[in-house]
Structure 1
Amino acid sequence: MIRLSAFADEISPDLDEQIAVLQSENIHYIDLRSVWKVNVLDLSNQQIQEIKQTLTAGGIGVAAIGSPIGKVPIDSSFEEHLARFDRSIEVAKALDTKYIRIFSFYPPVKEEAGSSNPAAYRDEVISHLQEMTRRARSADVVLVHENEKAIYGDIIERNVDLLQTINDPHFRSVLDPANYLQCDQVPYPDAYEATRPWLEYVHVKDVSPDGTLVVAGQGDSNWSAILQRLRQDGYDGFIALEPHLAAAGQFQGFSGPDLFRSASQALQTMLNSMDWSYE
């Protein structure tokens, strides 16, 4: 059975308001990215425990850690980033989730020879991801790679290359159709078919032809066909709302309570129309 989740910091920075809106929308899981305007990896152990207790009391489980891991230039200090990655594992364990959302690094910010050619950094990107995957395997957590614009694995070809090369059950794929559209890629059937062998997680947002972020079903992502295909293929996992309807920043989007409810209801209407049960 599929399970609905949400990047609830899109609702509000306040945890209590996040929970109230999730409850009103009958959503029982959260992709924890930030609370009180503090990134999940910067929260103290005490804050993590407070969040866990509050979520549990509200009937909300943690589906995934919405970490910013891999959202740094490939030429920045990997040793420092690994320390942050290790923190993501600690947080995942503390919150009883096996999933950590990650990215695959930016090409160098500096204007230098080769900086406009992501392929020039392939080996370094793969080496970094392999080390993180090794640590994930040891900790028994699963890294889910998001195909976000401007990171190494943003287009279908490079994403598939990463997944094929690393080839590990602890490094899997997020399907984010709207992100593919923002990279001039075809989400369905092209991206879906290419990444299907590694599919582990789904993010829901949509983009109109003029680039505006809209609720699922109102843009070019072809959500109706994607949901039908997911069901046909026996998808059994999380589908997480990340609508970005009011703002879309580098590290976090925002919708607000009302727009978030619109996004939630658009998705649930599609699921109900196809009689696909969820929890």
Structure 2
Amino acid sequence: MQSEPWLLSGFGDEIDPDPHLQCAVLQALGARHVEVRSAWGVNIVELSEAQLVELKAVLDARGMAVSAIASPIGKVSVELPVAHELARLDRAIVAAEVLGAQYIRIFSFYYDGAPEAVRDAVLERMRALAARAEQAGVVLLHENEKEIFGDTPDRVLDLIQSVDSPALRVAWDAANFVQVGVRPFREAYEMLRPYLDYVQVKDALLADGTVVPAGEGDGELPETVRALRDSGYQGFVSLEPHLADAFALGGFSGPAAFGVAGRAFAKVLADEGVVSA
């Protein structure tokens, strides 16, 4: 039995660069939160403090809150020094403070060669990031992006357990798991559920990795939603459709395709008796 509505959010910049339009489309889908990756075409870690204040004013005027800072931290080579991403995390922390967000999404580094060869370097950087987040009172959400160290369930689990910090948790992305050949619910859910604080909503086909609306691919979203419901999940579900384009630092859908994605996920929730707000 669901006790509280799940909190619907979405990547505003998948709709349009303009935060006003981002809010309008999200609110039309029933969301009261936005996940901020960029605004006015500027990445969240590059926005000036004045721009952050302006963005906060736009969101406040629309009655919208921020579910997470969708930073690009960790979407770089593991060969870069630790200080490189700590500096960007500091900017993401400022954004979180100005926008009133608890969560900052991160990744676990691109690399060449075997993952075992870079494990120590990845863990060194992830521990440093988590320590900085603990000091700032924010929580880092590791997203299982393809081609980073933590792109498979076993390596995500290794990261979370090895860093062992309350400031490092899991952002679940079913489509990304599908794109590395993983059946998300059957092969990842049980091992990662104890650390799962946030859900990125997109789906994909195992055959070729094509991203499709929620419930239309091999991401096992109905099974996952049902299990989350039964486990008492009460967190965010954030639409990240990638239906028109995907690129290194994000994706784009446009207002119409974003609406398609939102309505598809609403049907998955309704079929499982889950209410969102």
The residue number in structure 2 matching 1:110 is none
Q: Match of 1:6, as an amino acid?
A: G
TM superposition shift of 1:77 = 2.8
C-alpha distance 274-185 of structure 1, shift in aligned 2 (>3 A): closer
Q: Is structure 2 residue 213 aligned with structure 1 residue 215? A: yes
The residue number in structure 1 matching 2:88 is 84
TM superposition shift of 1:81 = 2.1
Structure 1's consecutive aligned runs of 4 or more residues displaced over 3 angstroms after TM superposition are none
Q: Is structure 2 residue 171 aligned with structure 1 residue 171? A: no
CA distance in 2, matches of 1:50, 1:106: 33
Which of 220, 238, 242 is residue 236 of structure 2 equivalent to?
A: 238
The residue number in structure 1 matching 2:253 is 255
The residue number in structure 2 matching 1:111 is none
Which of 14, 17, 20 is residue 24 of structure 2 equivalent to?
A: 20
TM superposition shift of 1:211 = 2.4
Secondary structure of the residue that 1:134 maps to in structure 2?
helix
Q: Is structure 2 residue 134 aligned with structure 1 residue 123? A: no
Q: Is structure 2 residue 140 aligned with structure 1 residue 140? A: no
CA distance in 1, matches of 2:89, 2:208: 36
TM superposition shift of 1:183 = 0.6
User: Deviation digits for residues 27-75 of structure 1, max 9, x if unmatched?
Assistant: 1101100011100110111110111111111111000000000111000
TM-score, normalised to structure 2, is: 0.96
TM-score, normalised to structure 1, is: 0.95
TM superposition shift of 1:223 = 0.9
User: Deviation digits for residues 181-240 of structure 1, max 9, x if unmatched?
Assistant: 111112012111111111111011011233221100100011111110110111110000
CA distance in 2, matches of 1:77, 1:169: 24
> Structure 1 vs Structure 2: percent identity of aligned residues?
45
CA distance in 1, matches of 2:13, 2:214: 19
The residue number in structure 2 matching 1:112 is none
The residue number in structure 1 matching 2:39 is 35
Kept in 1: contact 2:105–2:143 (CA 8 A) = yes
Q: Is structure 2 residue 14 aligned with structure 1 residue 45? A: no
CA distance in 1, matches of 2:210, 2:73: 26
RMSD of equivalent CA atoms: 1.0
